[in-house]
Structure 1
């Protein structure tokens, strides 16, 4: 299983100030999504980069896989304490809620699970490019 880092999560003290800074620095704004007070993701990409940055509210470090069920099984077999699989509820107008299991349509970035390292860093594993599409 390949685990890709497509985005690096940055800690910031002021999301809007950071957004202004990175746009001024020439980064391209990809996403500024804020469906509720508990979640906001701002994602920007440096020109020519294959990896983006993100910051906001309610975010964690992220890995991307093509088969969320296989990744979940593999991490569990390695002895990691992984969360249950979940998917975004209410797509396409997602407001931050989740339902158990994988996304029935296997949509990109809609199915997840988490694990936490010994220092408390939470990683979210999400599916993109499912083999079942």
Structure 2
């Protein structure tokens, strides 16, 4: 049996504002923008390289706008991803890493994990409604 997460619904107040944020600033691809009535609209967007998309819209969820927390966007180079988002006008937190890494108890220290270990370094940002995304580094290869 295979289960695949393919879509996450992101509750927003203003679909156009969210669409512009995710496409123009974060860099997601617009897959679908479907609105058969004045009360229903679904917009599907996909992060570059992802097999999971997000949906924003009208009439697709009753979750409060801004209530999505800690959905992960995994990147191979956290510094480059953070810099890219900052250049596009996204407010991204400082980078932090797990400490102590061998016996992590929920604590963090500033900056990248010195060993650039998988799943050890993070930064986060929020969309205009306050939905929070976590950037996590995995697969970094030193040149």
Shorter-chain TM-score bucket reads 0.5 to 0.7
Report what 1:77 is aligned to: 87
Q: 1:8 to 1:89 in 2, by over 3 A?
A: farther
Superposition CA RMSD, Å: 2.5
Report what 2:131 is aligned to: 121
3-state DSSP class of the match of 1:75?
helix
Report what 1:93 is aligned to: 103
What TM-score results when the alignment is normalised by the length of structure 1? Answer: 0.55
Q: 1:67 to 1:7 in 2, by over 3 A?
A: farther
Q: Is the 8 A contact 1:89 1:97 kept in 2?
A: yes
Q: Is the 8 A contact 1:8 1:62 kept in 2?
A: no
Matches of 1:7 and 1:98, distance apart in 2: 30
Larger Cα-atom Rg: 2
Report what 2:75 is aligned to: 65
Displacement after TM superposition at 1:114 (Å) = 0.3
Extract unaligned runs of 5+ from structure 2.
10-50, 53-68
The number of residue pairs the alignment matches comes to 82
3-state DSSP class of the match of 2:73?
strand
Matches of 1:8 and 1:114, distance apart in 2: 20
Q: 1:103 to 1:9 in 2, by over 3 A?
A: farther
Q: 1:96 to 1:130 in 2, by over 3 A?
A: same
Report what 2:115 is aligned to: 105
Extract unaligned runs of 5+ from structure 1.
1-5, 11-49, 52-58
Q: Deviations over 1:64-123 (max 9, x none)?
A: 000011001001100111000100010111000100000000000100100000111100
